[in-house]
Amino acid sequence: MSDPRLLQTLDRLGADGLISADPGAVMLLTGHHADIETGPSVFALPALVVAARDGDPVLVASADDAQPSATCVTYEGFTVAPIARVANARRALAEAIGRCAGDRSAWAIDGASVPAGALPDLPGGRPVDDAVSSLTAIKTAEDLAAVATTIAVCDAGHAAAREAAPAGASELDVWQHVRHAMERRAGGRIPIMADCVAGPRAAQIGGPPSPVAIAPGEALLIDLVPRVAGMWGDSCATFVDGRPDSTLRRAHSTARAALEAGLAMLRPGTVSGDIDAAVRAVMAQEGFAYPHHTGHGVGFAWHEEPRIVPGATTVLQEGMVVALEPGVYGEDWGLRVEQVAVVTESGPQVLSGHELALERAPG
């Protein structure tokens, strides 16, 4: 029985099968998650998946990354011989297509991810611009457990940030404590996208940690986006060491109210653009606005459907995972709060457990 998410995507594309090197699509269809922290490998092409309407999807990966099986074609990885990664991958992809093809011929080729040289001669193949955006939105129970694991890693990072960030520490010093706490929780190295910036640098919405020391009274904005065992999470908090000024307090309490308003709408049937509008309306009542999305799906990618943006028409369904993240950005400060929740029939199931308070050590 094929994954209904695949069948729906193939219907949308008018195709019998999909070929993709998108890491989220590969993860969803095969469970394989490749290293992504150091860019492309000189020994291999990115892992590919070949998925037809029926039968199991077939993974195409180098022998460094996978074992050959009925559902995996491998080719040479690390070698001391001359490197032939493109020809090797192309042959392996042709074999995988042969295993899946039957008499079908309408293949949708994910044009964003499949390297041009990996493609064997494929008369029924057609590159498509938007192959996988609708594939990954809805999560299975197993997927949701994986997302929850990743969100727990986010939580560990936020707890470490509050411990490590008295005024005077540098953003980079705080970041290393945060990263260490997250990787200890995860049990090893993980990719982490992150904003970790204070004061005027947070006015730019985000950015990487710098060697600049956090000055007294500056708000530290920390947005943590780790990938654990192939599944992404997301979370943001902003806090101040000491007593925040009234501008920060008002902006922060408004952002929290806006976040709550958005979370309350995370039910099957809600139109995503309506959530965007409602959250922005709460902000606007206090004269605040933000230039970015209100939120997005997260899991197989760090930003996926349902996108919570102006005018979006995606209708929420049970099992979607949504990050909401209203913020306020002033002249020389910025703040944002973010939680992740699962859309369920009985309302939002908030996965994020990190502290959102504006004061570093509340209570």
**Count of residues binding its own copies (CB under 8 A)?**
63
13, 60, 96 from 102: Cα distances, Å: 19, 18, 12
What dihedral angle (degrees, nearest 10) is formed by the CA atoms of 225, 185, 27, 128?
A: 10
The answer to whether 354 touches 154, Cβ cutoff 8 Å, is yes
Task: Kindly tell me the sign of the dihedral angle through the C-alpha atoms of 294, 261, 267, 144.
Answer: positive
110 or 358: CB nearest its own copies:
110
Q: Shortest gap between Cβ of 362 and its own copies (angstroms)?
A: 27
Residues 72-131 binding its own copies (CB under 8 A) are: 78, 80-81, 83-87, 109-119, 127-130
280 or 360: CB nearest its own copies:
280
User: Is residue 154 within the footprint of its own copies (CB under 8 A)?
Assistant: no
Work out which of 43, 91, 166, 169 binds its own copies, going by CB under 8 A. 43
Residues 164-183 binding its own copies (CB under 8 A) are: 172-173, 175-176, 179-180, 183
Work out which of 14, 31, 98, 208 binds its own copies, going by CB under 8 A. 208
Q: How would you list the strands of the sheet with 349-350, edge to edge? A: 304-308, 295-297, 321-324, 339-342, 349-350
Work out which of 147, 225, 263, 283 binds its own copies, going by CB under 8 A. 225
Total Cβ atoms within 10 A of residue 285: 11
Total Cβ atoms within 10 A of residue 353: 15
112 or 278: CB nearest its own copies:
112
Paired residues of 341 in beta bridges: 322, 350
Cis ω before 306 (30° cut-off from 0)? yes
Q: Shortest gap between Cβ of 223 and its own copies (angstroms)?
A: 13
User: Is residue 70 within the footprint of its own copies (CB under 8 A)?
Assistant: no
In the chain, what is the greatest distance between 2 CA atoms, to the nearest angstrom? Answer: 69
Task: Kindly tell me the sign of the dihedral angle through the C-alpha atoms of 3, 6, 12, 16.
Answer: negative
79 or 317: CB nearest its own copies:
79
User: Is residue 20 within the footprint of its own copies (CB under 8 A)?
Assistant: no
User: Is residue 22 within the footprint of its own copies (CB under 8 A)?
Assistant: yes
73 or 225: CB nearest its own copies:
225
User: Is residue 37 within the footprint of its own copies (CB under 8 A)?
Assistant: yes
Query: What b/e string do you get for 290-328 counting C-beta neighbours within 10 Å, with b at 16 or more?
Result: beebbbbbbbbbbebbbbbbeebebebeebbbbbbbbbb
Where along the sequence are the contacts to its own copies (CB under 8 A)? 22-23, 36-40, 42-43, 45, 78, 80-81, 83-87, 109-119, 127-130, 133, 172-173, 175-176, 179-180, 183-184, 187-189, 191-193, 208-211, 225, 227, 292-293, 301-304, 307, 309-310
